[in-house]
């Protein structure tokens, strides 16, 4: 109920800003519309592809390459998959949920989510063009081992605590 009230207040603020020519409110409304339209371009296609991924990729394949016995190869595949992602975390979290349902190891899933945030190819190219290739390589060479390390620690911790996602 409180979320609905806050959402209503937000939209009333934007509408009032249009009537009273409050520039900050107008800009907030424009940013919301821009964000909403960019989401509408990405999310439907991404969810169709995620649905196809869930149907076409067998559980055994995910368990073999990303499961408990995958060793370092699971982290490699997670980083490779994440580097090709478009749509950022909007798409990464649903894919992570599919990976979990199909038997991927928690530490590999955490690596995948962290790597989506850090090493997508389009983002790296953009960064290298502005900050230089050396900066981009140093950032990746520092970030990826940290992501993998913390993913292993967090995955092991949650495994010891018998972590379980509710409602899967």
Instruction: Provide CB contacts within 8 A for 127, sequence distance 6+.
Output: 135, 136, 139
147 and 119 Cβ atoms separated by less than 8 Å:
no
pLDDT in tens for each of the 168 residues of the chain? 888 999 899 889 999 988 888 888 889 989 999 988 888 888 888 889 888 988 898 888 888 888 888 889 989 999 998 988 877 787 888 889 889 888 889 999 999 999 998 888 888 888 889 999 999 999 999 999 999 999 999 998 988 888 777 765
Task: At 157, list the tokens.
Answer: 């911790």
Instruction: Provide CB contacts within 8 A for 26, sequence distance 6+.
Output: 14, 17, 18
Q: Please tell me the predicted confidence (pLDDT) of residue 168.
A: 55
d(Cα 109, Cα 100) in Å, to the nearest integer? 7
d(Cα 14, Cα 22) in Å, to the nearest integer? 9
Domain boundaries, the chain: 1-55, 57-168
DSSP string, 30-68: HHHHHHHHHHHHHHHHHHHHHHHHHHHS-HHHHHHHHST
d(Cα 156, Cα 17) in Å, to the nearest integer? 50
Q: Please tell me the predicted confidence (pLDDT) of residue 167.
A: 61
CB atoms within 10 A of CB 157: 12
Instruction: Tell me the CA end-to-end span of the chain in Å, nearest whole number.
Output: 25
d(Cα 92, Cα 98) in Å, to the nearest integer? 10
């Amino acid at each position: 109920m409180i979320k609905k009230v806050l959402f209503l207040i937000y939209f009333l603020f934007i509408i009032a800003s249009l009537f009273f020519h409050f520039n900050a409110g107008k800009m907030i409304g424009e940013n919301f519309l821009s964000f909403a339209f960019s989401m509408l371009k990405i999310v439907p296609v991404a969810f169709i592809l995620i649905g196809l991924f869930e149907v076409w990729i067998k559980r055994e394949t995910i368990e073999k390459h990303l499961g408990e016995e995958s060793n370092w190869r699971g982290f490699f595949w997670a980083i490779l998959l994440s580097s090709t992602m478009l749509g950022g975390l909007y798409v990464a979290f649903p894919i992570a949920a599919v990976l979990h349902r199909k038997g991927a190891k928690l530490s590999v899933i955490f690596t995948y989510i962290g790597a989506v945030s850090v090493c997508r190819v389009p983002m790296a190219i953009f960064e290298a063009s502005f900050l230089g290739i050396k900066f981009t390589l140093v950032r990746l060479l520092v970030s990826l081992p940290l992501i993998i390390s913390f993913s292993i620690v967090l995955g092991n911790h949650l495994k010891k605590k018998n972590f379980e996602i509710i409602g899967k």
